[in-house]
Structure 1
Amino acid sequence: MFLTLKETLYLLTGWLTLFVIGTDLFVISPLLPFIAQEFRITPAVAGWMVTVFSLMYAISAPFFGWLSDRKGRRFFIIFGLLSFCLSNFLTAISPTFTMLIISRILAGLSVAAITPIIYAIIGDTASPERRGIWLSFVVSGHLMALWAGAPIGTLLKQFLGWRSIFIGLATIAALLSILNFRVWASINIVHSVEAQTKGSVIRIISAVSVTTFWAIAMYALYVYLGTGLVLYNHFSPAELAFSITVYGIGAVFGSLSSGRVTNIIGSRMLSIFSTAMLIGILALLGLSFSTGTWVYLLLFFWALIGYASFTSYQARLAEEFPEIRGMVLALNNTALYIGITLGSIIGGFVITKWGFFALPFICSAIALISCLITVKRKMNTRVDST
């Protein structure tokens, strides 16, 4: 089934917007050493740029999602993009580290008004039979930044300096605000206040907790992946960069393929099946991590399965909570950031206490918890629908 010109614009606008947002998120990590050097601080202190961004995002995303359900999506997307433009400009011109931190707090606030609402507005505009494919496509824009946007930004730093990257992001965000303003002009779905009361708080918390455990299972290992590859596989910097690229490609393929599979077996079945497979691939990584170049294949399939699970679950939430889609998808993104934070803490504890090789097995056990909650929710959904 072919897309109309308007549908194509919806998808490309969502994809481009999330690609730029993702580039801002992922490019910080490789730039931290240079930022720390310029401001004469330690890399650990510079890491607060990421921490304050994540905290502000996690706190404010549900608020923006709730508002967008009541007032419409477009206003908050444009607000977020203009704030994103300002925050990146401030990052680029910050004369002190304090100003830099303030700019990243504003960046976290602005991204909270963009990312989950883009997911929600795509869910609003897609027909039920296309929703999985459409969501998987726009999610791939965010993941593409992991292996394309961030490396390009890092390369530009070599020629123009790290501040130029944020000037570029601010400029592109300003252009995207115009594009989003025009493209979403006819989309202003607003649900009634009564409709927003549907769905108990416990049911929503149970739903997004799946993502928290998924994120812990994925990121407890991913955060320390470079450490493991260098210490136990003796990877060179070039091999390490290639391994991250392979992982990123697997993530994009996983996201894109999940949409088509969702159309065949449904988002509920795919989310359960892919999360169950994630348990196995993490255990296999633990058994085969020191297999040299074979680890590339394992990293590809880990990302492929893991992000197929995440994207299909996003589609499932969009289907299950149509009246409060913006708020639930925003809460799901908050759950994601909570999981990433907990994952980094748990990963550090595990490798300190039991060593790196225990980490994939711990992550596999955590993925099992995510899978069990997913299955239980499927059973509850069946009961509710009878």
Structure 2
Amino acid sequence: MPLALLALALGAFAIGTTEFVIMGLLPEVATDLGVPISTAGYLISAYALGVVVGAPLLTALGNRLPRKTLLMVFMGVFLVGNLATVVTSSYGAVFASRVLAGLPHGAYLGMAALVAAHMAGPARRATAVARVMLGLTVANIVGVPAGTLLGQLVGWRAAFLVVVALTALTIAGVALFVPHTPASRAGGLRGELSALRHPQVVLGLTTAVFGFAGVFAVYSYISPMMTELAGMPSAGVPIVLALFGVGMTLGSLVVGPLADRWLRPTIYGSLASLALVLALFTVTVHNPWTAAATVVVLGAVGFGVTAPLQVLVMNKAGAAPTIASASNHSAFNLANAGGAWLGGLGIGMGLGYVSPAVIGSVLALVGLGIAVSAGVLDRRGPAAGSAAAEPAPEAVREPVSG
């Protein structure tokens, strides 16, 4: 299983690198394509659009295929999208290539989470999912800074060429090490889609949208916050971004075992901690050392929201977890877009660069309120909160304390 998890995590590493590396290369991209930086920034939105649309769409189209096959197909589409980014020259073509590259993002991560959970068994589902998502966190420490440096030295397309190579290695690793996992047994596409109508799945996805939006309300504007409020030189911003990735990695190592024992309490604690850290950030951001330390903690508690919610949505989808699992990544990307928009709205209203932290804290509290409400409804009876009358073979019983 370790090699299989490593192969799945490598795919997550490639996805995390391609999603975030362009943020550090926007000046080079804009110059090369002959567009303003603001227009080049739409390429980030193009990728997010692909994620939101592609996660449920590709998963639905491949619902009847074995999961191992789907993983390779999704990464094949991802490879083609990134290769198109490398070889195209016009802004419109690059925009289309970013949409294409984003389409399999959520579908792959959702499927990888299901396969990892299946291999690990009921007792270690959250830990296995967190290990796969570790690829995303390591991408923020290694892949994004290294890709940014490479792109600055030899051209921005070189960063995406590396992603293409990593994707090819992922496909080979999945083919060699991931065991055969059968297709969903939910009774076809209609059975999978039915899971999205169940209250606990809807509430889990809504929690992800609001709770994680708090992270991106701040992360999207971390560069001006560090330079304008903390008084940090611009050269220090990449270090801060790497520190955020370090925090995410530390969080992933802790949150998996915790969620395996206490799933809902881990979600509650992560969201409450996130709201508190974001509120404290309004004070600590005015000093470079305390700001950097808070960013590490922010990364840790922010990741504490992701893996447990992934497992919760999978559990509550019952025997039809495939599309629900993929849709969770659409929810997180909606959180990315919504958090960035709301954080920018605060700045645009003249509330200053500290306002995204205030807005983020409020969003995290809203997510906590939704999560607690979902837990209360779930305790009132199976009809209120679960997707199936009988536990699914892949589902894990939540601890009584949840």
- For 1:288, give the aligned amino acid: T
Aligned length: 379
Deviations 1:225-260 (CA, angstroms, capped at 9, x unpaired): 211111111111232222222111001111221012
Q: Which residue of 2 aligns with 1:50?
A: 44
Report which stretch shifted further, 286-295 or 139-148: 286-295
- For 1:297, which of 293, 296, 307 is the aligned residue? 293
The verdict on how the C-alpha distance between 1:381 and 1:67 changes in structure 2, with shifts beyond 3 A counting, is farther
What is the match of residue 121 of structure 2?
A: 127
Q: Is residue 2:321 matched to residue 1:325?
A: yes
2:310 to 285, 308, 314: 314
Inter-partner Cα distance in structure 1 for 2:3 and 2:62 = 21
- Work out the CA distance in 2 between the residues paired with 1:319 and 1:115: 16
- Residue 278 (structure 2) aligned to one of 258, 279, 282: 282
Q: Could you tell me how far apart the structure 1 residues matched to 2:353 and 2:380 are?
A: 42
Check whether the contact 1:66–1:324 (CA below 8 A) recurs between aligned residues.
Answer: no
TM-score (norm 1): 0.92
Per-residue Cα deviation, 1:33-74 (whole angstroms, up to 9, x for no partner):
101111211111111211111112101201233445543322
- Within the alignment, does 1:248 sit opposite 2:241 as a pair? no
TM-aligned CA deviation for residue 165 of structure 1: 2.3
* Alpha-carbon distance, 1:125 to partner: 2.2
Q: In 2, distance between residues paired with 1:171 and 1:210?
A: 35
The aligned counterpart of 2:229 is 232
Give the Cα separation in 1 of the matches to 2:320 and 2:63. Answer: 6
2:260 is aligned with 1:263 = yes
Residue type matched to 1:169 in 2?
Answer: V
SS of residue paired to 1:293: helix
Q: Find the aligned partners of 1:151 and 1:231 in 2 and give their Cα distance.
A: 22
Aligned to 1:221: 218
- In structure 1, the partner of 2:96 is 102
Query: For the Cα contact (< 8 Å) 1:123–1:318, is it kept in 2?
Result: no
Distance, in Å, in 1 between the alignment partners of 2:377 and 2:219 is: 32
SS in 2 for 1:235: coil
Q: Tell which deviates more after alignment, 179-188 or 245-254.
A: 179-188
Task: Report the 3-state secondary structure (helix = DSSP H, G, I; strand = E; otherwise coil) of the residue aligned with 2:110.
Answer: helix
Query: Which residue in the other structure is 2:393 paired with?
Result: none
**Partner residue, 1:140:** 134
Contact kept? 1:220, 1:343, Cα under 8 Å: yes
Structure 2, unmatched stretches of 5+, are 384-402
Which moved further from structure 2: 310-319 or 129-138?
A: 310-319
Displacement of 1:360 in angstroms is 1.6
| Percent of aligned pairs with the same amino acid | 23
Q: Does the residue aligned with 2:380 lie in a helix, a strand or coil?
A: helix
Structure-1 residue corresponding to 2:388: none
CA deviations over 1:138-157 (Å, ceiling 9, x no partner):
11111111121011112222
* 1:23 maps onto 2:17 in alignment: yes
Secondary structure of 1:290's aligned partner: coil
Q: Structure 1 residue 321: deviation in Å?
A: 2.2
Indicate conservation of the 8 Å contact 1:70/1:192, yes or no: no
Counterpart of 1:231 in 2: which secondary structure? helix
Q: Does 1:64 align with 2:61?
A: no
Distance 1:298 1:168, change over 3 A: closer
CA-to-aligned-CA distance 1:279-318 (integer Å, 9 cap, x gap):
1111111133213311222111111112112222222222
The AA in structure 2 aligned to 1:301 is V
User: What SS is found at the alignment partner of 1:191?
Assistant: coil
Give the TM-score normalised by the residue count of structure 2.
Answer: 0.89
The residue matched to 1:129 in structure 2 has which SS? Answer: helix
**Residue 168, structure 1, aligned to residue 162, structure 2:** yes
The code of the aligned residue for 2:332 comes to: L
Q: Which residue of 1 aligns with 2:7?
A: 13
| C-alpha distance in 1 between matches for 2:284 and 2:150 | 36
3-state DSSP of counterpart to 1:82? helix
Question: Alpha-carbon deviations, 1:199-241, whole Å to 9, x = none?
Answer: 7344422220000001221111111121111111111123222
- Corresponding residue of 2:86: 92
1:166 CA drift (Å): 2.1
Q: Distance in 1 between matches of 2:62 and 2:380?
A: 30
8 Å CA contact retained: 1:65, 1:329: no
Counterpart of 1:279 in 2: which secondary structure? helix
Moved more, 374-383 or 353-362: 353-362
Distance in 2 separating the partners of 1:239 and 1:167? 26
Closer, same or farther: CA 151–282 of 1 in aligned 2, 3 Å: same
